[in-house]
Chains A and B, each alone.
Chain A
């Protein structure tokens, strides 16, 4: 009897909420059918059946939150029986193993394989020493990610230490609890004055808050701003969009900016890097994270190998990712693993702003609005121009000011000679 368990869709995911069941008890389902919609702290996902059969029982109803690894339904294969309702999975798994031990012939291949494979984390239980559990709490580590080297797969101190050492991203993403706790204690209590309302920050906002606090506190940021003349780019963009209109392509300014930022990184490899426990990890491929504002927060979907993609490809991907981000339908691998970020607030009429580095990345570019201003041309005459400010925030542990300035100059050169972005 294959159980449908709450899947783990990202390192930080501890539980998911059933938004909606798309199949009802008694429905026949095929492997790959969408069973339900699930909400995690970051996205909404469609969950597919991993086996065919009858959806014999739904354990977790709509709106229910279920820890990762817990069963939410049973799919009954041919000739299989539904376990008693409410029977804990562990007991069921144990019983299956006992049957095997007694040499019961009824066991199908699946039955033989599954309980053993998943036994350690059946019902979400992981064998770990108390010390490991404490360290996991302090470092916000998901123990199901760690393989235990102790007896019966028990996770022991050396396992979690090794994990913490080799997963710097994991550690830098979320600050350790002790660091966060005293801060909360220092905050003033609510005034409770009339006309006030106390709102609990959402889970996403809390995570963003923690990460940004950590980034601001731990990364020595430096900033550099350039003003880019956008007239030529706007002219070229108009031309291209006219030509491409039939194909339904409409390039945005941000597509050009991302392409330029990615191309320029070819000469400044330091900035396309992750700051890890063991050193600066330089990345060849520019996996461009783009900040997308959501009603409930912010997410940064990633365009892989942004430097190697054409503008129209970047444009199509960006549009698709942004749309699905707003619908909460991104998969974890679509918003994890970026190496550089562009944050664009041009659409909001912002004259300039600075962004906080998204660790373990080491740089981010803040893109402001294009404004029309009078400027002097080469002859000294006052002419109208379209200008846009770019502000680089970079990690001083990795790069220095001059390098940042040279990088921005290269981005500016590419944007002011936009045909360079077409080759």
Chain B
């Protein structure tokens, strides 16, 4: 296995699928000639030509709608949102059409569509460009929502997403495009609805997805210095959600902390906490706690931005709290 960046893994998955299947094509702002704002699609225009790598106008509702139409007619478009924040403009197309056409048509029409782009913050893009939209899109039946964090999972989940006959919301950890990891060569798929145990432990379960998984892994290292063995669960797939892996872990550790970058209320962590109390109530030794972003629009200033996102210290502190080891 070769070590690749998150960006390279993403590109490799799309390239391989485009080579394998002629119906796969890319659309988005500046993805062709410019190579993509985040250089994800750099060079693909030369490889596949402008019929399969389409530069679009600045019109998310327009090109997302077009992609939905292509998908309904049997193509497999992969749409790049320059950032997921811009998807609000396309939300009507995504929620009202992409998510529902299959149901409306009684299963006669499928929408094999992938919409991908960087999600979340951490790179000083301020309030309008820092949204984490997993709970927003995760709310709607008819959509699949994934948020991989390792380059290997990025590749595997992108391939699975392109091959899936349903619309997939592919939330990339924008702050991690340059991070490296082992990526399997060639055909490598990661299924939906299957979480990954990023670190095994017996004392407390840290549940996260996307960028926060790395935060939890660092927090687990810190806890290990004091003899606390934290288990880190990387959800990877927000919808469908792998309840079983989470429950199995909590049955072992008896304590859970759910970490998310988004705001506390109505978030994925709240869902995780609810599922744990429903299905592992008799195994809990402490309330399930959430670590979330601060309840404000994201600030621009670096110091404030850092204060607004979950920190390693916070995760360590809350893990200690559910272990009744408050300092």
Report A's interface with B, CB cutoff 8 A.
129-134, 149-151, 156-158
Q: Does B254 contact A (CB under 8 A)?
A: yes
Q: Is the pair A156, B286 in contact by a Cβ cutoff of 8 Å?
A: yes
- Cβ distance A152 to chain B, nearest Cβ, rounded Å: 12
Q: Is the pair A131, B324 in contact by a Cβ cutoff of 8 Å?
A: no
The complex places the Cα of A130 from the Cα of B282 at a distance, in Å, of 5
Instruction: Give which listed residue, B254, B281, B282, contacts A157 with CB less than 8 A.
Output: B254
Q: Does B283 contact A (CB under 8 A)?
A: yes
- Cβ distance B310 to chain A, nearest Cβ, rounded Å: 23
Q: Does B3 contact A (CB under 8 A)?
A: no
7 new A-B contacts at CB < 8 Å, known A131-B254, A131-B283, A134-B282: A129-B285, A130-B281, A130-B284, A132-B285, A149-B324, A156-B286, A157-B285
Q: Is the pair B283, A130 in contact by a Cβ cutoff of 8 Å?
A: yes
Report B's interface with A, CB cutoff 8 A.
254, 281-286, 324
- Cβ distance A19 to chain B, nearest Cβ, rounded Å: 36
Q: What residue of chain A has the Cβ atom nearest to residue B280's Cβ?
A: A130
16 pairs of residues in contact across A and B, judged by CB atoms under 8 Å: A129-B284, A130-B281, A130-B282, A130-B283, A130-B285, A131-B254, A131-B284, A131-B285, A133-B282, A134-B283, A149-B324, A156-B285, A156-B286, A156-B324, A157-B254, A158-B324
- Cβ distance B226 to chain A, nearest Cβ, rounded Å: 15
The complex places the Cα of A157 from the Cα of B286 at a distance, in Å, of 9
Q: What residue of chain B has the Cβ atom nearest to residue A155's Cβ?
A: B285
- Cβ distance A235 to chain B, nearest Cβ, rounded Å: 66
By secondary structure, the A interface counts as helix
The complex places the Cα of A227 from the Cα of B49 at a distance, in Å, of 107
On chain B, the residues within 8 Å of A133 by CB distance are: 282
The complex places the Cα of A268 from the Cα of B254 at a distance, in Å, of 46
On chain A, the residues within 8 Å of B284 by CB distance are: 129-131
The complex places the Cα of A327 from the Cα of B286 at a distance, in Å, of 46
Q: What residue of chain A has the Cβ atom nearest to residue B282's Cβ?
A: A134
Interface-central residue, A130, A132, A158, by most chain B CB under 10 Å: A130
Q: What residue of chain B has the Cβ atom nearest to residue A148's Cβ?
A: B324
| Number of interchain pairs (Cβ within 8 Å) | 27
Interface-central residue, B281, B283, B284, by most chain A CB under 10 Å: B284
The complex places the Cα of A158 from the Cα of B325 at a distance, in Å, of 11
Q: What residue of chain A has the Cβ atom nearest to residue B326's Cβ?
A: A151
The complex places the Cα of A149 from the Cα of B324 at a distance, in Å, of 8
- Cβ distance B9 to chain A, nearest Cβ, rounded Å: 40
Instruction: Give which listed residue, A131, A151, A156, A158, contacts B282 with CB less than 8 A.
Output: A131
On chain A, the residues within 8 Å of B282 by CB distance are: 130-131, 133-134
The complex places the Cα of A156 from the Cα of B323 at a distance, in Å, of 9
The 6 A-B pairs with the shortest beta carbon distances in the complex, nearest first, are A131-B285, A134-B282, A157-B285, A129-B285, A130-B284, A130-B281
- Cβ distance A150 to chain B, nearest Cβ, rounded Å: 5
The complex places the Cα of A151 from the Cα of B287 at a distance, in Å, of 11
Q: What residue of chain A has the Cβ atom nearest to residue B277's Cβ?
A: A130
- Cβ distance A375 to chain B, nearest Cβ, rounded Å: 65
Instruction: Give which listed residue, B254, B281, B283, B324, contacts A150 with CB less than 8 A.
Output: B324
The complex places the Cα of A151 from the Cα of B284 at a distance, in Å, of 15
The complex places the Cα of A150 from the Cα of B284 at a distance, in Å, of 13
- Cβ distance B275 to chain A, nearest Cβ, rounded Å: 15
Q: What residue of chain A has the Cβ atom nearest to residue B287's Cβ?
A: A129
- Cβ distance A158 to chain B, nearest Cβ, rounded Å: 7
Q: What residue of chain A has the Cβ atom nearest to residue B281's Cβ?
A: A130
The complex places the Cα of A131 from the Cα of B281 at a distance, in Å, of 8
On chain B, the residues within 8 Å of A134 by CB distance are: 282-283
On chain A, the residues within 8 Å of B281 by CB distance are: 130
On chain A, the residues within 8 Å of B254 by CB distance are: 131, 157
- Cβ distance B84 to chain A, nearest Cβ, rounded Å: 38
On chain B, the residues within 8 Å of A157 by CB distance are: 254, 285
The complex places the Cα of A134 from the Cα of B281 at a distance, in Å, of 10
Interface-central residue, B284, B285, B286, B324, by most chain A CB under 10 Å: B285
On chain B, the residues within 8 Å of A150 by CB distance are: 286, 324
Q: What residue of chain B has the Cβ atom nearest to residue A131's Cβ?
A: B285
- Cβ distance A143 to chain B, nearest Cβ, rounded Å: 14
- Cβ distance B30 to chain A, nearest Cβ, rounded Å: 53
Interface-central residue, A131, A134, A157, by most chain B CB under 10 Å: A131
- Cβ distance A133 to chain B, nearest Cβ, rounded Å: 7
On chain A, the residues within 8 Å of B283 by CB distance are: 130-131, 134
The complex places the Cα of A158 from the Cα of B286 at a distance, in Å, of 12
The complex places the Cα of A158 from the Cα of B323 at a distance, in Å, of 9
- Cβ distance A85 to chain B, nearest Cβ, rounded Å: 35
Q: What residue of chain A has the Cβ atom nearest to residue B321's Cβ?
A: A151
On chain A, the residues within 8 Å of B285 by CB distance are: 129-132, 156-157
The complex places the Cα of A133 from the Cα of B254 at a distance, in Å, of 13
The complex places the Cα of A129 from the Cα of B254 at a distance, in Å, of 10
The complex places the Cα of A151 from the Cα of B322 at a distance, in Å, of 11
- Cβ distance A147 to chain B, nearest Cβ, rounded Å: 13
On chain A, the residues within 8 Å of B324 by CB distance are: 149-151, 156, 158
The complex places the Cα of A157 from the Cα of B322 at a distance, in Å, of 11
- Cβ distance A246 to chain B, nearest Cβ, rounded Å: 66
The complex places the Cα of A94 from the Cα of B286 at a distance, in Å, of 24
The complex places the Cα of A294 from the Cα of B283 at a distance, in Å, of 42
On chain A, the residues within 8 Å of B286 by CB distance are: 129, 150, 156
The complex places the Cα of A132 from the Cα of B284 at a distance, in Å, of 8
- Cβ distance A153 to chain B, nearest Cβ, rounded Å: 12
On chain B, the residues within 8 Å of A129 by CB distance are: 284-286
- Cβ distance A128 to chain B, nearest Cβ, rounded Å: 10
The complex places the Cα of A150 from the Cα of B325 at a distance, in Å, of 9
The complex places the Cα of A132 from the Cα of B283 at a distance, in Å, of 8
- Cβ distance A285 to chain B, nearest Cβ, rounded Å: 39
On chain B, the residues within 8 Å of A130 by CB distance are: 281-285
Interface-central residue, A129, A133, A151, A158, by most chain B CB under 10 Å: A129
The complex places the Cα of A133 from the Cα of B283 at a distance, in Å, of 9
